Structure 1
Amino acid sequence: MGRSAGQHGGVADLLWDDVSSFFDPEAMGTLPDVCVPNASVADWQAVLDLVAEKGWKSHYTEGESVLPVPAAEAVLSRPADAECPNLRVWPADDVLAIFRFHADDEVDFDVDLRELQGQERLDAFCGFLREIGRRLGKPVLMYPEGDCGHPMLGFNVEEDRVVLLADPSRP
């Protein structure tokens, strides 16, 4: 009995019953935006290194071409009219994050809320945010789709966990 809690490092960051409204695709849009603001090329590279170190399943594409993951500097210095690259990362089975290399000063990715239903998936998602936040020493924030006003939740560096940043009863 006591083993399952220890495998996840103790208590869950967030409880599904508390935050399920934030994960409602009807209310929030299917693809909320997750980002690390005030980032750098080095931060992007740290994320790419983290994906490789963790052995997370991933694939990198430019247009229709699947390619080996290049260095962050190479991706971010491509011409403006080049195909937009995507890095798809599966930190857990059936949980996909799609990184889009729009700017070197913000690490951004999308997740699909339809894949993040229930406590187990929520724990996997929080774990993913925590890994990125710890590696970069920066907050990782989730916003409703297309709304970069106020984040709903995110990794808090000082607390070393994912915390609510808005009231889930008023999405």
Structure 2
Amino acid sequence: MTGHFYQDPRLAYTPKPSKPFLFLCPLCLPQPPTATMPRLHHKNKQDYQKEKLIMLSELSQIVFENDGSLRDIFVLNTSEQDWQIMLNFLRQSSYPFEFTIDGTPQELPDSVKTIFDLRQEHSTQLCIDRQELVINSFFFTEEEIDFDIHPRDINTGDKVERLLEFMRTISKLLNKEIILTPQMSETNPWYRFNPVTENEIWYLCEVI
């Protein structure tokens, strides 16, 4: 992989103890290998929040450029039990969701097995957070939990942070890594979160 890691400047100010947040420098591809993005030094929480918003806004333009393709989110190596845990969480969470069968809104079944059985003859879709992120899942297989999002819906730094918070929450819930990828490209992640180390990695040189 081209590029190099550098530590997120947010760590210059840490509002609470945290694990490292690392990502690949988006400037290093066209520049010498030693090039790095400027490190920012935050003196207080206000500066931290300001620079964080700037960084997330830049990510919305780079990773979520509206190029006509979707972005995929994967939790790999899952089971029916993992799907069930996630659905149980959604019922109790503040995330709004809508479940449809063949395009018609229906009550979300208690058991995910029912959904996979339905999918043998029907189209099933779960839409999460329609007013903000529009995260869709179609229950393709038990072996991975997958969502898709349209980049046009992730068009601000606030929405990037909301999406990342959703991904981190699901990852910690299942204690499994979660990745963000180009459409149908689970082997080419742009972002990865590890729930054990709480490290986040951006592979931005793969995007540019």
TM range, smaller chain: 0.7 to 0.9
* Cα offset, 1:50, TM superposition: 1.6
- For 2:140, what is the secondary structure of its paired residue? strand
TM-score, L = length of structure 1: 0.81
Correspondence list, 1:106-145, <5 A: 106-145=144-183
Preserved contact between residue 44 and residue 104 of structure 1 (Cα < 8 Å): yes
Task: Give the Cα–Cα distance (whole angstroms) in 1 for the partners of residues 147 and 157 of structure 2.
Answer: 21
Correspondence list, 1:82-101, <5 A: 82-90=121-129, 93-101=131-139
* Cα offset, 1:88, TM superposition: 0.5
Cα shift readout 1:45-68 (whole Å, capped 9, x = no counterpart): 111112111131111001032111
Indicate the RMSD between aligned Cα atoms, in angstroms.
2.6
Total equivalences in the alignment: 161
Q: Specify every segment of 5 or more residues in structure 2 that has no aligned partner in the other structure, as ranges.
A: 1-43
Larger radius of gyration: 2
Moved over 3 A (4+): 168-171
* Structure 1 counterpart of 2:118, from 56, 63, 78: 78
- For 1:23, what is the secondary structure of its paired residue? coil
Q: Percent identity?
A: 19
Correspondence list, 1:1-171, <5 A: 2=45, 15-18=56-59, 20-26=61-67, 29-70=68-109, 71-78=111-118, 80=120, 82-90=121-129, 93-164=131-202, 166-168=203-205, 170-171=207-208
* Cα offset, 1:34, TM superposition: 1.0
* Cα offset, 1:104, TM superposition: 0.7
Q: Specify every segment of 5 or more residues in structure 1 that has no aligned partner in the other structure, as ranges.
A: none
User: When you count strand as a share of all residues, which structure comes out higher?
Assistant: 1
Cα pair distance change 1:61/1:127, threshold 3 Å: same
Preserved contact between residue 60 and residue 154 of structure 2 (Cα < 8 Å): no
Preserved contact between residue 129 and residue 162 of structure 1 (Cα < 8 Å): no
